[in-house]
């Protein structure tokens, strides 16, 4: 079995506790790697290494153009290692190989994008309202950024933080999910090869409470960039508050996908499926509430059930597999509990509603793609994030009713609208309280546009040019052009 140490200050080191835990394959249930079980001592060591690197001339003395060059080199190394990174990620979280390799290529694109942005962050000369003073504004990095990430898309969600944080001149300590650490450690190995100075990129692995929490509260941590559940995000935000640390949070959702009666139904069925059964529903942006106009409801549901039943379910390593296993045993059991909860609340199972075991299903950590009909938006199954292949179909009569149901949630990560009518589409876009709205598509993302949540789905944005400012702070500089002050006792 492969053993993965922590990466701190440019060296591979054992955890202070001397303890390790196993990483297992969701499909087979076999343990394949040993991961360091880190604690507060490792957290302190990593933050101190990152702080020393931040203060060093070797990093802070680099021009922004040179920093961009390092990011570009890392992007090239990622491109050269797509198969290695994709295989590890697929092994760790059971995501489809077909999706993972595309995601890793996309990770390289994120590094290229922020490599290019590194030396285009311009300050300003302010036409200040005072005589004989020159005022300008410059952007500076924050210091040590702690990135805490979940298991569903580990490399992508780490990159969404790491690329802008490094482009801006910060140093970073990454705490990956305890389920998916290996790929992030390989990413650190590539960053080392790319030539980042020692201590600029650090990875400490382990459990949230044991090593994540002390990273958040360490006095030298300047900012926490977190992706995970809303409960974890709230805990991180509260723990960061006494130290007045900056925080960005990318959290969960219960996103509405609205099918209007004039939609292209063939495309809408595909969009509904990719929205919630892609990645076995283990995506923050899952279109887990499917709002269908009553006049087309029965016809649409029949087509959706038929298309869902035809999905090829099985080993994620097979390129033609369409639905893979659930990533963790805890998540598998949670989804089954929520299915039972939906049944008890009176929703109807139109498809799925059970686990899948036997030939072709490995250790049996599969959930049949599940469609609940007859769901009311007040049911818990319609209000709580499942993070699995389960969709709630909710009927509505008018567009305004659809918008009211869509917005009746504590989350606001994303929403979808399916219609051929541009006016109806834009009417919905303007009224949906969500950070991303897709019209006649679902689950598209890019490094070029912001992603983040309204309401309990998060704080701040990732992606796009503005996101780099989440890792920068402004400094206002005043230069007197007049040597003699008239009256030193009066504010000028």
Binding residues for ligand NAD (CB under 6 A): 148-152, 157, 175, 177-178, 207-209, 212-213, 216, 227-229, 232, 235-236, 250-252, 284, 385, 387, 413, 453, 458
Alpha carbons 201 and 53: distance in angstroms, whole number = 9
Alpha carbons 430 and 397: distance in angstroms, whole number = 19
Cβ atoms of 260 and 297 closer than 8 Å:
no
CA 145 to the chain's CA centroid: 16
Alpha carbons 368 and 324: distance in angstroms, whole number = 10
Q: CB neighbours of 36 closer than 8 A, spacing ≥ 6?
A: 4, 5, 6, 14, 15, 19, 20, 42, 204, 205, 206
Q: What are the phi and psi torsion angles at 295 (to 5°)?
A: -65, -25
Q: Return the number of the residue (111 or 454) whose C-beta is nearest ligand NAD.
A: 454
Q: Return the number of the residue (152 or 322) whose C-beta is nearest ligand NAD.
A: 152
Q: CB neighbours of 238 closer than 8 A, spacing ≥ 6?
A: none
Q: How far is the CB of 434 from ligand NAD (least distance, A)?
A: 12
Q: Return the number of the residue (21 or 427) whose C-beta is nearest ligand NAD.
A: 21
99, 178, 210, 250: the catalytic one is 250
Q: How far is the CB of 212 from ligand NAD (least distance, A)?
A: 2
Q: Return the number of the residue (169 or 452) whose C-beta is nearest ligand NAD.
A: 452
Q: How far is the CB of 441 from ligand NAD (least distance, A)?
A: 18
48, 210, 284, 462: the catalytic one is 284
Q: Return the number of the residue (177 or 202) whose C-beta is nearest ligand NAD.
A: 177
Q: Return the number of the residue (68 or 453) whose C-beta is nearest ligand NAD.
A: 453
Q: Return the number of the residue (69 or 450) whose C-beta is nearest ligand NAD.
A: 450
Cβ atoms of 211 and 175 closer than 8 Å:
yes
Q: Is 33 exposed, middle or buried (0-12, 13-18, 19+ CB in 10 A)?
A: buried
Q: Is 8 helix (H, G, I), strand (E, B) or coil?
A: strand
Q: How far is the CB of 58 from ligand NAD (least distance, A)?
A: 29
210 is catalytic: no
Q: How far is the CB of 96 from ligand NAD (least distance, A)?
A: 16
Q: How far is the CB of 435 from ligand NAD (least distance, A)?
A: 9
250 is catalytic: yes
Task: Give me 317's structure tokens.
Answer: 């390593």
Q: What is the DSSP annotation of 110-126?
A: HHHHHHHHGGG---EEE
* Per-residue DSSP letter, 237: H
Cβ atoms of 186 and 126 closer than 8 Å:
no
Alpha carbons 168 and 157: distance in angstroms, whole number = 18
Query: Strand 221-227 vs strand 246-250: parallel, antiparallel, or unpaired?
Result: parallel
> Which candidate, 385, 160, 374, 380, places its Cα nearest to that of 253?
385
Task: Give me 436's structure tokens.
Answer: 């991303």
Q: How far is the CB of 182 from ligand NAD (least distance, A)?
A: 14
Task: Write out the catalytic residue numbers.
Answer: 250, 284
């Amino acid at each position: 079995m492969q053993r993965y140490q922590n990466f701190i200050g440019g060296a591979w080191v054992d955890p202070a506790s001397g303890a390790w835990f196993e990483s297992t394959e969701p499909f087979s249930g076999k343990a394949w790697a040993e991961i360091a079980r880190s604690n507060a001592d490792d957290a302190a060591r990593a933050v101190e290494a990152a702080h020393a690197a931040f203060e060093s001339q070797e990093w802070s003395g680099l021009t922004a153009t040179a920093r961009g060059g390092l990011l570009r080199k890392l992007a090239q190394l990622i491109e050269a290692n797509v198969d290695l990174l994709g295989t590890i990620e697929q092994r760790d979280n059971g995501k489809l190989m077909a999706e993972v390799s595309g995601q890793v290529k996309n990770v390289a694109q994120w590094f290229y994008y922020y490599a290019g942005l590194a030396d285009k962050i311009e300050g300003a000369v302010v036409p200040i309202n005072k005589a004989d003073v020159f005022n300008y504004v410059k952007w500076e990095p924050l210091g040590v950024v702690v990135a805490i990430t979940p298991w569903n898309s580990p490399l992508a969600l780490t990159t969404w933080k790491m690329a802008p944080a490094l482009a801006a001149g910060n140093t970073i300590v990454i705490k990956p999910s305890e389920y998916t650490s290996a790929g992030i450690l390989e990413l650190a190995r590539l960053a080392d090869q790319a030539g980042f100075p020692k201590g600029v990129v650090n990875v400490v692995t382990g459990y949230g409470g044991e090593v994540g929490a002390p990273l958040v509260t360490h006095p030298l941590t300047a900012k926490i960039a977190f992706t995970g559940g809303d409960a974890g995000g709230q805990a991180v935000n509260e723990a960061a508050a006494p130290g007045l640390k900056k925080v960005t949070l990318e959290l969960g959702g219960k996103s509405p996908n609205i099918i209007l009666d004039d939609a292209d139904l063939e495309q809408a069925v595909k969009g509904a499926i990719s929205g919630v059964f892609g990645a076995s529903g283990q995506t923050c942006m899952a279109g887990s509430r499917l709002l269908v106009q009553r006049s087309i409801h029965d016809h649409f549901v029949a087509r959706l059930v038929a298309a869902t039943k035809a999905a090829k379910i099985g080993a994620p390593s097979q390129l033609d597999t369409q639905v893979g296993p659930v990533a963790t045993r805890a998540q598998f059991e949670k989804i089954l509990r929520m299915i039972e909860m939906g049944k008890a609340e009176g929703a109807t199972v139109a498809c799925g509603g059970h686990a899948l075991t036997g030939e072709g299903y490995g250790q049996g950590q599969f959930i049949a793609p599940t469609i609940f009909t007859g769901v009311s938006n007040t049911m818990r199954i319609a209000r709580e994030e499942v993070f699995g292949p389960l969709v709630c179909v909710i009927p509505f009569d008018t567009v305004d009713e659809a918008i009211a149901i869509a917005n009746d949630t504590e989350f606001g990560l994303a929403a979808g609208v399916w219609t051929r009518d541009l006016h109806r589409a834009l009417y919905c876009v303007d009224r949906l309280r969500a950070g991303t709205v897709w019209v006649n598509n679902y689950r598209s993302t890019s490094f070029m546009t912001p992603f983040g949540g309204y309401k309990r789905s998060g704080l701040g944005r990732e992606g796009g040019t503005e996101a780099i400012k989440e890792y920068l702070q402004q400094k206002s500089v005043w230069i007197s052009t007049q040597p003699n002050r008239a009256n030193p006792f009066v504010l000028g």
